[in-house]
Amino acid sequence: MAYFNPEIETLDRGDLDALVDERVAYTVRYAAEHSPYYRRMFEKEGISPGSIREHEDLLSLPLIGGKTLRENQPPVTGEFGFLSVDWNRIFTIHETSGTSGTPKAFFLTWADWLQYAEKYARCFVSQGFGPDDRVVVCASYGMNVGANTMTLAARNVGFSVIPEGKCTFPPRVITSFRPTAIVGSVFKLLRLARRLRDMGLDPATSSIRRLIVGGESFAAESRAYLAEVWGVDVYNTYGSTEGTMCGECTDVSGLHVPEDLVHMDLYDPGIRGFVQEGECGRIVLTTLVPVGEHAGMVLINYDTEDTTVVLSRERCACGRTHMKIFNPQREAETFWIAGVPVNRVDIERGVFYRDNMEYLTGEYEAFLYGGGEESGTTLRVSVECEDASKCDRELVEQTFLKSFFSGKPLLFDQYNDGMFEVVFHFTDPGGLEIYRATGRPKRFIDRR
């Protein structure tokens, strides 16, 4: 079994917890000394940084979120309240996409870069990558950190990178360079497969040996279909500018969290407190700074607004001891219908039901309308067909409904009572609204 950092990745649970506690205590002291925001926060809350000695103590500290970051940077303030080193120690500056307001600023030292790269390197090695691999990276090389840190991780692992940035690269990249893997989203990789087939190239007989998906949550059904189309294993990663970088190993039983470098707690989506083990909660991150080191920016109890479940803290079949979590979902993609939460992934699961894929491309979008006490709610699901005139619409509708209502008995009751309606719209390729939208397409929109 291969590891990037075997001593840390296979550390006994007791020793791992002790290391985490040591870094929690140091990180809190570091934040109080070097971060203007945390210095003020500890004084305002009357909390002694020295009283935070272990990870359980973090539960007593306030939560922060993206709004907190924006309120402590220009143009709201004259300084970057979370900047935690002198400017001359900052290696790179990053911003989020800013889809929900002013972009959040992030600052990385070279030490931060090395830690970010190690997280991705661990993921790559756990997925079977080695020096003989050539990997096409279809992720942005702009202000986000993902593609850049993957590239640095590749240098550490020893494989080659083809830094395309997008999945619209010409087929000669596959035929000439014979890459062994591609990093991209489910939909980018499905579109690439269709484009290759249109040009007479079968993805399943190409040089590709594995696919790495990330950047958005997805259904198990869409992953299975992607694996079928390409004829390879598909592994999941979850990363963010805040520094999560979790990844599946070849056991494919959850995403390993690099617990020595980032601490993760789960908070009740209703913001009532931290959840019990095994319950779904919002991911709350705390940066872990190794003792004696510096960090460009420290986050303590940062609410990512993504949800997950801790699956295991036991030693994995791969030998790693770091905990495993379920594929995270975005809270912003969850809407409530008659007291029942519905996530975009619930829609995707119904679309990618295997029988449907004889007729569909996998592209979809969904909208919620109505919502009044008397009128009820309507879910409109639009799916793209290979050929709308030949699509078995009744089969698609029935298989979607069977999948969608699985595990949602209360919503099914609303459906039977006429207070919740599901309507379908079938289009030929290119007919969905997402093709006319700018920026990252939103596939599930609440128009109530």
What's the confidence (pLDDT) of residue 373? 64
* Of residues 21, 5, 24, 7, the one with CA closest to residue 289: 24
What's the confidence (pLDDT) of residue 378? 96
Mean pLDDT of the chain: 93
Q: Which residues, in sequence order, are CB contacts of 135 under 8 Å at separation 6+?
A: 129, 154, 159, 160, 161, 162, 179, 180, 181, 182, 183
CB contact at 8 A, 355 and 397: no
Q: How confident is the model at residue 1 (pLDDT cuts 50, 70, 90)?
A: confident
Residue with tokens 């029942």: 340
The number of beta carbons lying within 10 Å of the beta carbon of residue 193 is: 21
The number of beta carbons lying within 10 Å of the beta carbon of residue 136 is: 22
Average pLDDT over residues 433-448: 88
What's the confidence (pLDDT) of residue 98? 56
Distance CA 62, CA 20 (A): 19
Average pLDDT over residues 43-69: 93
In this predicted model, what pLDDT tens digit does every residue of 186-197 receive, in sequence order?
999 999 999 999
CATH architecture group of domain 1-327:
3-Layer(aba) Sandwich (3.40)
What's the confidence (pLDDT) of residue 141? 87
CB contact at 8 A, 229 and 257: no
Average pLDDT over residues 432-441: 85
Q: Which residues, in sequence order, are CB contacts of 204 under 8 Å at separation 6+?
A: 229, 230, 231, 232
**Tokens coding 208:** 């590709």
CB contact at 8 A, 103 and 97: yes
What's the confidence (pLDDT) of residue 270? 65
pTM of the model: 0.92
Average pLDDT over residues 280-290: 94
What's the confidence (pLDDT) of residue 130? 96
Residue with tokens 């992953």: 223
In this predicted model, what pLDDT tens digit does every residue of 132-159 receive, in sequence order?
999 999 988 888 888 999 999 999 999 9
Task: Enumerate the domain spans of the chain.
Answer: 1-327, 333-446
In this predicted structure, the answer to whether residue 303 has a pLDDT above a threshold of 60 is: yes
The residue with greater pLDDT, 280 or 10, is: 10
Taking phi first (over 0 means left), then psi (-120 to 50 degrees means alpha), and beta for anything else, what does residue 301 get?
left
What's the confidence (pLDDT) of residue 165? 92
CA atoms within 13 A on the CB side of 78: 0
Q: How confident is the model at residue 268 (pLDDT cuts 50, 70, 90)?
A: confident
Tell me, letter by letter, the H, E, C secondary structure of the chain. Answer: CCCCCHHHHCCCHHHHHHHHHHHHHHHHHHHHHHCHHHHHHHHHHCCCHHHCCCHHHHHHCCCECHHHHHHCCCCCCCCCCCECCCHHHCCEEEECCCCCCCCCEEEECHHHHHHHHHHHHHHHHHCCCCCCCEEEECCCCCCCCHHHHHHHHHHHHCCEEECCCCCCCCCHHHHHHCCCEEEECHHHHHHHHHHHHHCCCCHHHCCCCEEEECCCCCCHHHHHHHHHHHCCEEEEEECCCCCCCEEECCCCCCEECCCCCEEEEEECCCCCCECCCCCCEEEEEEECCCCCCCCCECCCCEEEEEEECEEECCCCCCCCCCCEECCCEEHHHEEEECCEEEEHHHHHHHHCCHHHHHCEEEEEEEEEEEEECCCEEEEEEEEEECCHHHCCHHHHHHHHHHHHHCCCHHHHHHHHCCCEEEEEEEECCCCCHHHCCCCCCCCEEECC
Q: How confident is the model at residue 269 (pLDDT cuts 50, 70, 90)?
A: low
In this predicted model, what pLDDT tens digit does every residue of 217-265 receive, in sequence order?
899 999 999 999 999 999 999 988 888 899 999 999 999 999 999 999 9
The number of beta carbons lying within 10 Å of the beta carbon of residue 137 is: 24
CATH architecture group of domain 333-446:
2-Layer Sandwich (3.30)
The percentage of the chain sitting over the pLDDT mark of 90, rounded to a whole number, equals 85
Distance CA 291, CA 19 (A): 10
In this predicted structure, the answer to whether residue 438 has a pLDDT above a threshold of 80 is: no
Q: Which of 12-21, 88-97, 381-390 has the lowest mean pLDDT?
A: 88-97
Average pLDDT over residues 416-443: 91
Taking phi first (over 0 means left), then psi (-120 to 50 degrees means alpha), and beta for anything else, what does residue 407 get?
left
Is 86 exposed, middle or buried (CB count within 10 Å of its CB: 0-12, 13-18, 19+)? exposed
Question: Computed from CA positions of residues 53, 58, 59, 62, in that sequence, does the dihedral angle turn out positive or negative?
Answer: positive
What's the confidence (pLDDT) of residue 345? 95
The residue type at 437: A
